[in-house]
Amino acid sequence: AAAQRDDLKMIKGIGPRMEKKLNDAGVYTFDQMSRLSPTKLQNILGISKKVVQSSDNFISQAKKFAEDGPEG
């Protein structure tokens, strides 16, 4: 069975290139993304430590989508 895939681009700040990096790392759903540590997310996306705020924000948005659904 094909794994469910969420549109990770619904997360503000995630574009097609970042979504592809996440997919390449095996992250396809908001739930999977919400379980990443900020450091792991930074490593996947290749974003600098200065963008810690963004990775925390991406993770909290992913958690919200995972819990409430994209409609919010």
Q: Which of the two residues, 27 and 46, has the higher pLDDT score?
A: 27
Q: Which of 22-26, 40-44, 54-58 has the highest mean pLDDT?
A: 22-26
Report helix, strand or coil for 47: coil
Tell me: the pLDDT tens digits for 3-16? 589 999 999 989 99
Nearest to 11 by CA among 43, 36, 33, 37: 33
Mean pLDDT of the chain: 86
Position 71 scores a pLDDT of 61
Q: How far apart are CA 29 and CA 23, in angstroms?
A: 9
Q: Which helix (H) or strand (E) holds 21?
A: helix 16-24
The pTM score is: 0.78
